[in-house]
Amino acid sequence: MTKPTDRHSFILLCLQSPQDAALQSRLQSWLDADEEHRELYRQLKLLWEQAPYAALFEDADAIAATARFLALLDQTPAVTPVLPLRRPRRRLMTAAAAVLFIAAGAAWWQYTRNSIQWLGKTTSSQPDSLLLADGSKIYLNKYSQVRYPAAFKGKERQVELTAGEAFFDIATDPVYPFTVTSGPAQIHVLGTSFNVKAGAEKIQVYVLSGRIALAMEHRPQRLHLQAGQSASCNTTTGELQAVAADINQLAWRTHELQFVDTSLQDVCNALSACYGVSMVLDPKISRKRKLNANFSNKTLEEVLQTLTALYDYQFQQLNDTIYVHLPVK
């Protein structure tokens, strides 16, 4: 019991076994021996007893909470005291106040613009999700990247999908419109959930619930989409087009695949999008053969086994590539 490490573990043992009478009496005589012992015991006992309450701080995220509080504040009109001005100087004062007001406004605008702390999240071979300060959720597919502010400031909430694909579930807040940008495409939201897939030539948007307005940078055209609708933006021409919604658009997140009279070509495209694999088809195989099947929460392996049984083709996986060929006779 001389080295401090032993002291610590001895005290720990005593704290953990209050019923052990023999141990407690050993502790008592050790405490009676020296003031220093008593001091150490008091300190460790204090930490030991207070520690369980530290758990209450586990999810006290002050920064996110402050952002939520500021959002509330902005909906609360503050009663600002009006100071009476003396008559003769009133005009001058008003002019001065206006100048000041404009200067302060400009400074504030500059400040908020420059003071936003942007964070990024990038996924590699695993999808991931993140929670924004306003309670909105973003689910990132593999190999995707978003940039988002640490806290939403000013009058709008803005995030950017810089690569890949993400599903957005946006918290409703009519006071603060939410904008997702992806390259030249801008998606204006009031509170809804939708999927964005950013490719090099086109950006695909699919709305699951609510409504969004889609626009391209520097262009007046706006496309309104409702739940279940889909659109595609051409990144080179800036063209916006409503397209037929693909029921399997969210499969990468939900792992629900539905095929209704779907051609083999489209089945392969859906698999490739959902599981992030490339498909290589034997040229001798017809791309047109139709499939009817539903897969719910199945692994890629299970899906391929079923497909091998349904089509009389072999679906073989090698790393991230699926080879489809005629069975070897």
Partner 1 sequence: MISGLYSEEVMQGLQARDRAVFARVYEHFYPVLFATARKYLGEREQAEEVVQDVFLRLWEKDFTLEHAAALKSYLFRAVINQCINHLQRNRMLEGHHAEIQHLQEESYLCTFIEEQELRERIHHAVERLPEQCRRIFKLSRYGGLKNNEIAQQLELSVKTVENQMTIALRQLKAALLDHAEKPISAVTRLKLLLWLASV
Element (H, E) at 145: strand 145-149
Structure tokens that stand for 7 in this block: 């002291």
Where on the phi/psi map is residue 218: left (φ > 0), alpha (ψ -120 to 50), or beta? Answer: left
Where on the phi/psi map is residue 56: left (φ > 0), alpha (ψ -120 to 50), or beta? Answer: alpha
Choice from 29, 76, 296, 297 touching partner 1 (CB under 8 A): 76
Choice from 22, 78, 200, 244 touching partner 1 (CB under 8 A): 78
9 lines the binding site for partner 1 (CB under 8 A): yes
Closest separation in Å from C-beta 16 to partner 1: 7
Instruction: Find the angle CA(49)-CA(54)-CA(57) to the nearest 5 degrees.
Output: 165
What letters, b where the CB count within 10 A reaches 16 and e where it falls short, cover 126-154?
ebeebebbbebebbbbeebbbebbebbbb
* CB atoms inside a 10 Å sphere around CB 124: 8
Closest separation in Å from C-beta 105 to partner 1: 14
Closest separation in Å from C-beta 11 to partner 1: 8
114 lines the binding site for partner 1 (CB under 8 A): no
What letters, b where the CB count within 10 A reaches 16 and e where it falls short, cover 20-38?
eeeeeeebeebbeeeeebe
19 lines the binding site for partner 1 (CB under 8 A): no
Closest separation in Å from C-beta 15 to partner 1: 9
Element (H, E) at 121: strand 118-122
82 lines the binding site for partner 1 (CB under 8 A): no
Choice from 25, 33, 34, 69 touching partner 1 (CB under 8 A): 69
Closest separation in Å from C-beta 133 to partner 1: 12
Could you tell me if 317 and 306 are in contact, meaning their C-beta atoms sit under 8 angstroms apart? no
Binding part of the chain for partner 1, among 21-29, 51-59, 296-304, 312-320 by CB under 8 A, reads 51-59
Choice from 66, 292, 294, 299 touching partner 1 (CB under 8 A): 66
290 lines the binding site for partner 1 (CB under 8 A): no
124 lines the binding site for partner 1 (CB under 8 A): no
Closest separation in Å from C-beta 152 to partner 1: 12
83 lines the binding site for partner 1 (CB under 8 A): no
d(CA 39, CA 244): 74
5 lines the binding site for partner 1 (CB under 8 A): yes
Nearest to 68 by CA among 170, 151, 130: 151
200 lines the binding site for partner 1 (CB under 8 A): no
Choice from 2, 80, 117, 124 touching partner 1 (CB under 8 A): 80
Binding part of the chain for partner 1, among 52-60, 99-107, 159-167, 180-188 by CB under 8 A, reads 52-60
Closest separation in Å from C-beta 48 to partner 1: 7
Structure tokens that stand for 301 in this block: 């392996």
**Where do contacts with partner 1 occur on this chain (CB under 8 A)?**
4-5, 8-9, 11-13, 16, 42-48, 50-60, 62-63, 65-66, 68-70, 72-73, 76, 78-80
